[in-house]
């Protein structure tokens, strides 16, 4: 396990220095303002925390709480780690496909104005497309399942709405039997045909949203001649990688973004108060590039990827839906004569921290030998002094 090295530059500092510029231009809604406020207060006295003392040398340390906001790039590491473990425990003993459904960039403006209905439509259209091809006996003739994660960004922070899907290479027939896909590891249905069906289902949904006055379109669809609409003529991309022996690698890849958004602190290579330089991988050239941006523009790009409040960006469908998967997993394993995966061990936060970062979280940074104990609870800076009785109760329980 490599030791964790704290990045030199922090997104929270960039937000703190440049947020006022976006406020002045009235470019932030109330939800976005709340997210940015949480991120700037994360692990600071504003969030409250604990005063710790070393049993061995007596040195005092102060630890402040995290904001736990799902958009914060300093939070979510332990949640992500546990999510990946849980999903690996749910794996069926079959091959898996990694699929990506992408919206044309011409829809970016509409998405930004109507995020909740359009993101919901994107995920549902992707699932309905998979479900339709799975049920077709020409391709499989079984009920599929999928784990989907919504992403809105590319490596360069540009807006790029797409859904990553983890799909088992097979499904459950009407007789309750597992049926595997064929085609020697390739996806069970032609992706070009799937892209056309995906386009049809999404545009049908757009028409319905427009007719219900939930969204506005510059050029309305003619339901009977929608193939003439400019959006319909664009390239709709469905991508499928060859099947893999298990879903572990895909889970690891998707898991990196499950509880984090857009960019990590480690990718910020330089910040001088006016310009931000960050690294990103260019898939066209297969090379890592360094892009300098004005700090204000960098922050604007980040804000684009703040999801609507309460929007579930991780969804489970079909045989992998929460209400189905326990029974289905057991059923498939019994048919294949494979033992059940052991349930992931429930670790406390200190054990997870050690697995992730390779160090003991409660080890004294001064003497590096003693263990820290909590001696006082620190209230959030805005809340005033904490109840003295609470401190005495904490001390008794240590």
Domain boundary assignment for the chain: 11-71+369-397, 77-262+305-336
Tens of pLDDT, residue by residue over 277-330, are 999 998 888 899 999 999 999 999 999 999 999 999 999 999 999 888 888 888
Q: Name the phi and psi angles at 159, rounded to 5.
A: -70, 125
- Beta-carbon contacts of 350 under 8 Å, excluding residues fewer than 6 positions away, are 360, 361, 362
Alpha helices in 283-348 (DSSP H): 295-303, 322-336
Identify which of 174, 183, 151 has the alpha carbon closest to the alpha carbon of residue 164: 151
Residue 139: pLDDT band by 50, 70, 90 thresholds?
Answer: very high
The mean-pLDDT minimum among 53-67, 83-97, 259-273, 383-397 falls in 383-397
Q: What is the mean pLDDT of residues 26-39?
A: 93
Residue 382: what pLDDT? 64
Residue 223: what pLDDT? 73
Residue 143: what pLDDT? 94
Tokens of 389: 């009785």
Tens of pLDDT, residue by residue over 171-194, are 999 999 999 888 766 788 899 999
Is the pLDDT score of 386 beyond 70? no
200 or 245, greater pLDDT: 200
Per the listing, tokens 């995920």 go with: 123
Instruction: Give the best-scoring range by mean pLDDT among 13-17, 219-223, 324-328.
Output: 13-17
Q: Give the number of other CB atoms < 10 A from CB of residue 122.
A: 23
Tokens of 95: 């091959």
Q: What is the mean pLDDT of residues 51-79?
A: 89
Residue 352: what pLDDT? 79
Residue 38: what pLDDT? 93
Q: What is the mean pLDDT of residues 2-17?
A: 83
Is the pLDDT score of 396 beyond 60? no
Residues β-bridged to residue 289: 280
Residue 219: what pLDDT? 81
Is the pLDDT score of 134 beyond 80? yes
Residue 397: what pLDDT? 36
- Report residue 190 CA to chain centroid gap: 28
Q: What is the mean pLDDT of residues 146-151?
A: 93
User: Mean pLDDT, the chain, as a whole number?
Assistant: 86
Rounded Cα–Cα distance for residues 393 and 200 (Å): 62
Is the pLDDT score of 156 beyond 50? yes
123 near 201, Cβ under 8 Å? no
373 or 394, greater pLDDT: 373
Alpha helices in the chain (DSSP H): 11-24, 30-41, 77-89, 108-113, 115-135, 191-211, 230-233, 248-258, 295-303, 322-336, 349-357, 388-397
Q: What is the mean pLDDT of residues 134-157?
A: 93
What letter does residue 228 receive in the DSSP assignment? Answer: G
Is the pLDDT score of 49 beyond 90? yes
CA angle 363, 86, 253 (to 5 degrees): 85
What letter does residue 387 receive in the DSSP assignment? Answer: P
Residue 95: what pLDDT? 86
Residue 247: what pLDDT? 67
Query: What size, in residues, is the chain?
Result: 398
Tens of pLDDT, residue by residue over 94-128, are 888 889 999 999 999 999 999 999 999 999 999 99
Q: What is the mean pLDDT of residues 83-92?
A: 84
Tens of pLDDT, residue by residue over 344-383, are 777 777 777 777 777 788 888 889 888 999 999 999 886 5
The mean-pLDDT minimum among 26-40, 118-132, 203-217, 373-387 falls in 373-387
Rounded Cα–Cα distance for residues 145 and 287 (Å): 34
For the chain, count helices (H), then strands (E): 12, 13
């Amino acid at each position: 396990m490599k030791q964790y090295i704290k990045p030199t530059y922090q997104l929270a500092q960039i937000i703190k220095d440049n947020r006022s510029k976006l406020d002045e231009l009235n470019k932030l809604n109330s939800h976005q303002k709340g997210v940015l406020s949480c991120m700037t207060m994360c692990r600071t006295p504003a969030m409250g925390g604990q005063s710790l003392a070393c049993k061995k040398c007596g040195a005092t340390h102060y630890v402040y709480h995290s904001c736990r906001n799902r958009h914060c790039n300093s939070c979510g590491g332990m949640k992500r780690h546990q999510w990946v473990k849980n999903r690996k425990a749910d794996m069926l003993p079959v091959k898996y496909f990694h699929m990506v459904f992408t919206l044309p960039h011409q829809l970016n403006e509409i998405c930004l104005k109507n995020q909740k209905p359009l993101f919901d439509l994107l995920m549902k259209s992707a699932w309905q497309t998979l479900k339709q091809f799975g049920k077709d006996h020409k391709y499989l003739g079984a009920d599929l399942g999928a784990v989907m994660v919504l992403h809105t960004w590319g490596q360069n922070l540009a807006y790029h709405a797409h859904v990553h899907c983890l799909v088992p290479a097979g499904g459950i027939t009407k007789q309750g039997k597992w049926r595997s896909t064929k085609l020697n590891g390739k996806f069970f249905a032609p992706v070009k045909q799937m892209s056309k069906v995906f386009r049809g289902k999404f545009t049908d949904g757009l028409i319905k949203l427009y007719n219900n006055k939930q969204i506005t379109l510059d050029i309305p669809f003619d339901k009977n001649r929608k193939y003439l609409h400019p959006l319909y003529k664009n390239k709709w991309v469905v991508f499928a990688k060859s099947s893999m022996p298990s879903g572990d690698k895909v889970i690891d890849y998707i898991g990196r973004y499950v509880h984090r958004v857009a960019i990590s602190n480690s990718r910020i290579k330089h910040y001088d108060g006016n310009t931000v330089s960050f690294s990103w991988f260019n898939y066209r050239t297969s090379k890592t590039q360094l892009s300098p941006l004005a700090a204000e523009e960098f922050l604007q790009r980040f804000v684009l990827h703040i999801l609507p409040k309460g929007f579930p960006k991780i969804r489970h469908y079909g045989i992998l839906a929460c209400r189905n998967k326990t029974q289905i997993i057991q059923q498939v394993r019994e048919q294949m004569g494979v033992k059940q995966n052991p349930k992931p061990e429930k670790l406390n936060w200190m054990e997870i921290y050690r697995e992730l970062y390779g160090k003991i979280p409660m080890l004294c940074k001064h003497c590096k030998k003693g263990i820290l104990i909590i001696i006082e609870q620190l209230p959030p800076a805005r809340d005033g002094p904490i109840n003295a009785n609470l401190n005495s109760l904490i001390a008794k329980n240590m």
